[in-house]
Amino acid sequence: QPVCEPGQMVALVLPYIGSAWLNPAIISIYMVGNPVRVKFASRGSGIARLLESLYRPIFGDSIRFDYSDGRKFLQRAMTDPATPAICLFGSDDYAGQYLDAIKAQDKKFIFEGPGKDPFIVLPGADLEDAARELAYCKYIYAGQTCTAPERVYVHQSIHDDFLELFLDFSRAVKVGNPSDPTTEMGPIASTKAVSAIKSQLNDAIKRGAQIALGGRIEGNLVYPTVVINASHDMLGMQEETFGPVSFIRAFDDTEEVLHLARDSRY
């Protein structure tokens, strides 16, 4: 059922990694009968204007694009009686700033936060296919997706063979300037994300992990990085890693690792 009454609109705040996947986020709100006011991150205003030019002939004023400052957009949405619901994509700390204020206004708040997705490789798997799939999922958009696998669990009996294949696929990624047509992976868009990656790598090394590949960071360009012997007390196994970094842990108890994969702490 729609949450909007006549004259109302849902406020939708999208992350800076704007791309085609954001269309379902917009359209799914509209499809159940809600007009939408969309706010892209400032650095995604070019994509927003492109989408607006495509949407307007189809949806008219039912889907509107806003180019104001993000904080002002949210503050206006929180106090505007014509905004019954706010949908926000982003980090926990970003959303947490507004949670109490939104609840105080008795508005519906839908939050899509960070991911910490497990990739599990069991005995009997096609190791080459698994390694290729992990590399694809990990390095698309330079790992800047909430669905990118970050903590990788590989059964001890196949760990070394899988690791060798994954390292080969990781080395083959062409890293460079996005304007170069041959580039397969460009830089990280957020300096905050780069800083978090550095902290996670330093923490992993201090806690006994080894960097099997990469660890090289030049400005916002993070090269494919593979960390082995990861443990669950490491930041990289607990926090979202918004970049091309994989933390690999060997295991021998399948039931235990399936439980860990579902554990809300990670």
User: What are the catalytic residues?
Assistant: 112, 146
Report the helix count and the strand count for the chain, using DSSP H and E.
9, 12
d(CA 226, CA 220): 18
Residues ≥6 apart with Cβ < 8 Å to 93:
none
Helix axes 45-59, 22-31, angle to 10 degrees: 30
- Three-state secondary structure call for residue 90: coil
Count CB-CB contacts under 10 A for residue 97: 10
CA angle 90, 190, 28 (to 5 degrees): 30
The H-or-E segment that residue 84 falls in is none
Starting at the edge strand that comes first in sequence, how are the strands of the sheet with 149-155 ordered?
A: 117-121, 149-155, 245-251, 225-228, 210-213
Q: How far apart are CA 19 and CA 54, in angstroms?
A: 14
